Amino acid sequence: MSSNSALERTINKVLSQKETELVSQIDSAFQESLKNLESSRSRLESERTKIIESARKQAENLKRQIVGSSRLAARNKELVMIETDVNRAFEEARGKLANSGKEDSYRALTAKIVEDSIPQVGSDEVVIECNKNDADLVKKIVADLSKKDGKLKASISDKPINAIGGIRVKSADGTMSFDNTLDSRIERLKPLIRKNIARMLRGEEGEE
């Protein structure tokens, strides 16, 4: 009986030790799991923050692209409208100028163009080109200028140019030329007209 009791005590002691070890192992594993869970939670929170921040940046970029595209489309539409209006205005001006050959104001303008153009080529011997409708008028203007300036030797080309008015003048040797047709004058005005129209559309008429 005493032998059995000793055996039982030994078994119980062993079981108690194993139980303690097992509980300790379980507790250790539990603590390790908690640490891993906390670490995973931190990583997940960091990833979630990164995902949210990335999504926010993408949304901002998309917003800027949409706004930029809208502004660009509006700007392009404005430019097309300006170009259309400018071209229409100049076509109307071309039509009026083409039909103004017999008016005193047109004759005065042509005389001024001829007088201003000849000095631009730096020669007293020049060849002047004009359209066929203005040939007689230009010849008269040149004749009057030759009377005032005995050094001037100007001839009118027998080949008419395709222009609504004005002249092209060349030095006799062909090394210098100056285009002062109404067509070229109109083209030179276009950028300024476009700029003024754009400013008017933006309500900037009074600004410099």
Q: What ranges in the chain are assigned the alpha helix state H?
A: 2-98, 104-117, 135-148, 182-201
- To 5 degrees, how large is the angle CA 136–CA 142–CA 147? 130
Q: At 180, which CATH number?
A: 3.30.2320.30
Per-residue pLDDT of the chain (208 residues; tens, 9 = 90+): 455 676 666 666 666 666 677 667 766 766 776 676 677 667 767 777 777 777 678 778 777 777 777 777 777 777 777 777 777 777 776 677 666 656 778 888 889 999 999 999 988 899 999 999 889 999 999 999 888 888 889 899 999 999 888 899 999 888 999 999 988 888 887 787 777 776 776 665 544 4
Give me the domain span that covers residue 45: 1-99
Residues 112 and 88 in one domain: no
Of the three residues 64, 99, 134, the one that is the final residue of a domain is 99
Residues 72 and 141 in one domain: no
* pTM score, whole prediction: 0.53
Sign of the CA dihedral with 186 first, then 107, 114, and 155 last:
positive
Angle of helix 182-201 versus helix 2-98 axis, rounded to 10:
140
Beta bridge partners of 126: 154, 171
Residue 7: the pLDDT is 64
Which token pair is 165?
Answer: 């008015």
Residues 70 and 127 in one domain: no
Residue 206: the pLDDT is 47
Q: What is the domain count for the chain?
A: 2
Residue 16: the pLDDT is 67
